[in-house]
């Protein structure tokens, strides 16, 4: 009898622990979806939000098509397509502001091109909201099969980087620089291995940290500076942690005082997992994007992005964007847009809503 009671007690403790470990799981609702990515299959992947310098409601979502005849898409905040450039099988895209291109400071966009294992480089023209190629040459990486990409603007030396990876777990960091003639060139400044297949990554420009998802394993935190070594700590794990393989897209919500959130796509259970941005990246909670009206819910998400900035009437408290692998239940794919305050307000206590951090501002 005593053993029986102990067994019951242990089951109860384990059940309570598991529930506490899972935290809150909430549903949030999209308000906009983009036009589908080019190609009839799951061809969309990673998005990046570009913030218009003077009228934030004219900001855009830059998306990809990894179809063989794919490229980069640009969508308005109402989801309509502004531009589609067809130049290859584009997997991931990221953006950084204030890149010095002769007498201009431009929003620089880089993307991983699986057709030729290169890094594509574009700038955003604020007057048209369209992308313009500014690569001086084809920047071919040393990777056998390029996959994910993220960017990093160093607070230490002000240099800009693209960090790319492949399905073997190899990572390469490329320094981007003005070639003196308003074009961008790049040179490889570090390479290392995560261990196994990786794709999603994000750099925190204020803390100089680099987060990389090892798809079947979990999330790792490295230093983002190319000269500071490859020491790493594990933020969370697939299976035993709050993630269900594959861990895919990663993004950072920036609030004041270097606080905010690290957000990950947990593809295996169609959820998004939120951690503290600072310190030990403590787990906070989990959300799903459900269907709302004519907009279907979000599943199988690869890439994500988020901004804290007020993007005008449609997204006054910021915006979260996620790839959806089955648009309207079909095989085509697109992006779902969710107001940040819908996500923040779904948790108890509510998450931070801080629109003050300026992506074009000086790094603190």
* Alpha carbon separation from 270 to 21, 145, 154, 248 (Å, rounded): 18, 26, 33, 11
Stretch that binds Ca ion, among 14-22, 51-59, 184-192, 288-296 (CB under 5 A): 288-296
Nearest approach, Cβ of 362 to Ca ion (angstroms)? 35
Q: Is 196 in the site for Ca ion (CB under 5 A)?
A: no
Name the residue nearer to Ca ion (CB basis): 203 or 337. 337
Which range touches Ca ion (CB under 5 A), out of 8-16, 18-26, 318-326, 347-355?
318-326
Judged by CB under 5 A, does residue 265 bind Ca ion?
no
| Helices then strands, each counted (H, E), the chain | 2, 26
316 CB-near residues (< 8 Å, 6+ apart)? 310, 339, 341, 355
Choose, by CB under 5 A, the member of 42, 206, 324, 341 that binds Ca ion: 324
Residue whose CB is nearest to Ca ion in the complex, by number: 328
With 0-12 / 13-18 / 19 or more C-beta atoms within 10 angstroms meaning exposed / middle / buried, residue 53 is middle
| Residue choice 65, 301, 327, 332 for contact with Ca ion (CB under 5 A) | 327
Among 86, 328, 331, 356, binds Ca ion (CB under 5 A): 328
- Residues 154, 256: Cα–Cα separation, whole Å: 18
Query: Does 326 help bind Ca ion (rule: CB under 5 A)?
Result: yes
User: What are φ and ψ of residue 274, in 5° steps?
Assistant: -110, 135
Beta bridge partners of 327: none
**DSSP secondary structure of 3-33:** HHHHHHHHHHHHHHHHHHHH-EEEEE--SEE
Among 166, 172, 214, 296, binds Ca ion (CB under 5 A): 296
Residues that bind Ca ion (CB under 5 A): 199, 296, 324, 326-328
């Amino acid at each position: 009898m005593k053993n029986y009671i102990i067994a019951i007690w242990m089951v109860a403790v384990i059940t309570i622990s598991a529930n506490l470990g899972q935290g809150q799981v909430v549903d949030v609702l999209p308000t906009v979806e983009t036009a589908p990515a080019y190609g009839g299959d799951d061809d969309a992947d990673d998005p990046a939000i570009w913030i218009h310098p003077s009228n934030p409601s004219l900001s855009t979502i830059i998306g990809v098509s990894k179809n063989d005849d794919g490229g980069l898409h640009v969508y308005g905040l109402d989801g309509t397509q502004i531009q589609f450039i067809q130049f290859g099988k584009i997997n991931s895209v990221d953006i950084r502001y204030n890149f010095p291109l002769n007498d201009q400071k431009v929003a620089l966009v880089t993307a991983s091109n699986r057709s030729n294992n290169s890094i594509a480089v574009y700038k955003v023209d604020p007057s048209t909201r369209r992308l313009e190629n500014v690569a001086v040459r084809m920047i071919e990486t040393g990777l056998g099969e390029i996959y994910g990409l993220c960017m990093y603007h160093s607070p230490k030396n002000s240099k800009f980087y693209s960090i790319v990876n492949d399905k073997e777990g190899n990572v390469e960091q490329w320094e981007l620089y003005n070639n003196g003639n308003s074009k961008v060139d790049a040179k490889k400044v570090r390479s290392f291995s995560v261990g196994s297949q990786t794709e999603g990554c994000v750099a925190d420009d204020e803390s100089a940290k680099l987060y990389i998802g090892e798809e079947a394993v979990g999330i790792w935190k490295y230093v983002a500076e190319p000269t500071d070594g490859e020491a790493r700590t594990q933020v969370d794990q697939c299976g035993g942690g709050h993630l269900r393989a594959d861990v895919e897209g990663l993004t950072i919500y920036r609030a004041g005082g270097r606080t905010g959130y690290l957000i990950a796509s947990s593809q295996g259970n169609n959820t998004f997992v939120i951690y503290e941005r600072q310190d030990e990246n403590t787990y906070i909670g989990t959300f799903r994007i459900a269907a709302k009206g004519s907009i279907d819910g979000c599943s199988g998400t690869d890439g994500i992005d988020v901004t804290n900035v007020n993007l005008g009437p449609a997204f006054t408290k910021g915006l979260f964007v996620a790839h959806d692998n089955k648009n309207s239940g079909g095989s085509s794919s697109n992006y779902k847009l969710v107001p940040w305050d819908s996500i923040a307000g779904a948790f108890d206590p509510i998450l931070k809503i801080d629109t003050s951090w300026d992506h074009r501002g000086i790094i603190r």
